[in-house]
Structure formats: structure tokens, C-alpha cells
Amino acid sequence: MSERPFLMGSETEFGIASPDPREQNHITNSMRLVGFCPGLPAPEALWDYQGENPLVDLYGRRMDGEREDPDPHANRALNKPQTNGGRLYVDGAHPEYSTPEVTDPLDLVRFEAAGELIADNCRRTGERVLGGRGFSLFKNNSDGKGNSYGYHENYLVPRRVPVDTLLMATVPFLITRQVFCGAGKVGAENGRPAVPFQLSQRADFFETLAELNTMVRRPVFNTRDEPHADPDQYLRLHVIPGDANMSQVSTFLKVGTMALVLRLVEDGALGPVPQPESPVEAFWIFSRDLSLKATVPVRGGRGLSALDIQRVYLERVQAYARAHPLPGSFPEVVRRWEVVLDALEADPLSVDRQVDWAIKHHMIDSYLGRKGMGWDSPRAKAMDIQYHDIDPARGLFHTLRAKGWVDELVAPEAIAQAVTQPPEDTRAWFRGQCLARFGKGVYGVSWSSVLLDVGDGIRRIATPNPFRGTRAITGPLFDRCATPRELVAMLERG
């Protein structure tokens, strides 16, 4: 078994809306919202784009075009690095939050939920500044008008793993895991045939198997090669077909199971897995099958359902776990994975405390039944979107949570702490501590660097190893350094 810790993170693009009909420019609204981010000790720290290139793919091919980095003024307006090691920024027409790098799926749940608090704090600050209700923010993937926006996962993988091996191993998993991490969707979009309700918010928008682009001809397997780490050692698998989840259980299973599948691939322990003959079409079919019994043709075998394919992956992971004890919360991932698949097989709607699509379906179906309405009613679509409102006073998921009708994994106090405190076991600790301790002495940061103002210039501290810069390694340095100059001098002395 690989002794390397797991490493993962997520990126959430929030839907944004303004009640003012004169303020419907999403880019302007996103900029204003991010600008309201309160309590930052280094509000002028910029994002260091050196080393980032989204135009190169894992096969070494380059997309046409040139990378355009913002000037320093625009950079500071677009980016608000967080003391928890994460990043709040504007990406296109959306406010986006990236978690810090974490080694455990329960920490990912915690820091992703902290991102919702950070975004909501920006919204609340905006309300006070604007003298009323400023914006609504939605942790979802579609505005119901044909526009989709992303939720992306990131996993560290050794560079030695062949790209085609990753593709063949992960695509069947990605198109079937929606049974437990689909966020649920009323209706259809992107020209797909009408349907009352489906498992996934994103499935309708995926059109090809593998591609570098993330916005046109969206691929199930994204080939972007931007490791944010030593490129000779690692690649970053950028996973884009997943839904943004409100349920902590769905998020936990989504990232935990994916990380385990990748570990088996890395160790050569996964073995052959069923390959649907038309993966993109299978993605659509499975999303529209609330019975979870629909099957798709599989190469060299009989037709299989999404649950059938998930069982293959679960059994391989269980066998691996029996021989290789798993760290942290990963044993709980495996246990819950089996429990949820068993429940889905017995009665798909029985997971309406754990799985977003089932929670949402139960909520809307109950309301429509009481009101004598159908799934094609405008109210159904409105409830779909309102389920994802991150304002606890307006979001329907938050209403269910407050009533104790959904399962939770992380205490509110732990989430609140993650708003400002970075994880201790990755380089995010060093990044976050620099921001918290040195404030305006931090000129800029990125995932793999910290730029410190030492008085007579800017010094870049490279952090290509995600597993250094931890509290255990760098905590004593911070205890002995009061200024960026002292820290740089100590680092240079080794």
C-alpha cells in the first residue's frame, strides 16, 4: 500500500442573484460580493498565478490561446485568500470558494461547509452595507434557465499512473456515483428530453468522454494538467461532473469513495471494471432512473445498472481495506458506502436523510401532493433552487437541517473554526498562518507559493510539496519569528 497521505480539495461556484432588476450583471455582483469579505488580516494579498496554466492537458497537448493574468489591481479585487488556507475569488460570472488541501474526507466536508459560511458572511456584510437584501447565493449547479456552473473536486495522483488507466478506471465510477451524491433536479436542460425529476444536476450538460475544456462540450473526464505541486512527481485529477451537495453525507461519500478508488488505481489493486459502451449516454440514463434498475450495455458482458457497477467498486475497496488498514475517516466511508448502497437497492427513496436527491425529492413531492400540483409546476422548480440557498433563513435544506430531518457528520462549532483555522497536516497550514500572523506583510499566495514583503523586496517561498508546511514542521518556526523577514531568514538558513 502507498504510504503517501491522501490529498483532496473542492471548488464550489455559487449561483448569485440580486432582487434588484437593475443589478443583474453576474460578474459585477460577484465582484461586489467578494469585496464584502469581512475580517481578512491581508485583504490586499494577491493571487500568485506563476506556474498556473489551464491550457495544457495530461497528454501534453496545448489548447489554442494565451493565459491572461489580471493586473495587480484587478487581481486583488478578484481574489481574497483566506486564513484557513482556502481561496474566495471570482471565476467568470460566479463567486467561487476553494477549500484548502486536506488529507481526510471528513475534513473536506468541514472546510467545504466553512466555505458556505464565508460566502454567507460576505452576503450578510453586503446586506448591511447596501442597506437591505443584497444578494442570494445558491450552492447548486444550474439556474433552471439553461446555464450550468461547476463544482470541481481535486485529487493528488502520482505522475507515474498512466492517464488512460485513470480514464478507464474512473469514468464508470463517476457516471454511477450519482446514486448517492446526485443533488437532484426538477426537469431537464441543455436540450435533453423532458423528465419530471432526475438524480443529477450536471448530467444533462455533459457531452463528451474526455476533454481539456470545462465549459464547452463538457467532458466526464477532464484532462487539465495543472498539478499545483511538483509536476515531475504529481498530477492533479480535476473532477468536474459531480454535483454541489448540501448534504454532508453525500459530500463525504462523494470525495471519500473517489479518493479510495484512486488509491487502488495508484497501487495497481483495482483491476478491470465494467466499461459502459456509451459512457456519456449512460450518465444521462442513470440520472433519469429513480428506480435505480435501468441497465446499460457493458463491453463484453451483460447490461448493468448503476448499483451493479458501484458494487464492483465497493467490493474491490473492501478487499483492499482488509489487507491495508485505512487512515482517518476512510473506514467510515467504506461502511457508509455499503449501508447506502444496500438501502438504495431495497428502496431508493429510503435514503431521504442522507442523500441530497432523495431528500429533495421527498420534500418537493410531499409539498406537491398536499397542494395538488404536478412536477411541471413553477413551484416545483422554485423549491428545487431554494433548496440550495445558503442563507439559513431562506434555504430549504437549512430548514430541514434545523428540524433535525437530515443527518449531519460535523458539528457546527468545528465548521465555524474552519472558517479561519487551516488544516494542520498539509502546506495549507503554512499559507494560512502567514496570512493570519503577518497580514499586510503577505504580498501574495498560491497553492504552491507564499510571497512575503521583507521590507527591501518580495521573497517567494515555494511550497511544491503539499505534505510539508504542516503545523508539526513549521509551527516552531512561527513561534520564533515575529516578522516576514525573520521567517525568510530562518528558512534560508535551513
DSSP-assigned letter for residue 460: E
**Per 3-state DSSP, what percentage of the chain is helix, strand, and coil (rounded to 5)?**
40, 20, 40
Residues 6+ apart with CB under 8 A from 309: 172, 173, 176, 273, 274, 276
R_g of the chain, CA atoms, integer Å: 22
Cell of 16: 448569485
Where does residue 369 rank: exposed (0-12), middle (13-18), buried (19+ CB within 10 A)? exposed
Half-sphere exposure in the Cβ direction for 249 (13 Å, CA): 21
Is the separation of the CB atoms in 286 and 294 below 8 Å?
A: yes
Identified catalytic residue from 91, 120, 143, 365: 91
Taking the CB of residue 310, how many other CB atoms lie within 10 A of it? 25
Calpha distance 377→372 (Å, rounded): 10
Q: What is the dihedral of CA 387, 388, 389, 390, to 10 degrees?
A: 130
Is the separation of the CB atoms in 471 and 422 below 8 Å?
A: no
The C-alpha cell 425529492 sits at: 361
Q: Are strands 218-222 and 206-211 parallel, antiparallel or unpaired?
A: parallel
Number of residues written out for the chain: 494
Contacts of 489-494 spanning 24+ positions with Cβ under 8 A: 491/461
Half-sphere exposure in the Cβ direction for 441 (13 Å, CA): 19
Three-class SS state of 28: helix
If we measure between CA atoms, which residue out of 83, 73, 67, 85 comes closest to residue 35? 73
Three-class SS state of 354: coil
Catalytic annotation present for 267: no
Calpha distance 271→165 (Å, rounded): 10
Question: Which residues does the annotation mark as catalytic?
Answer: 91
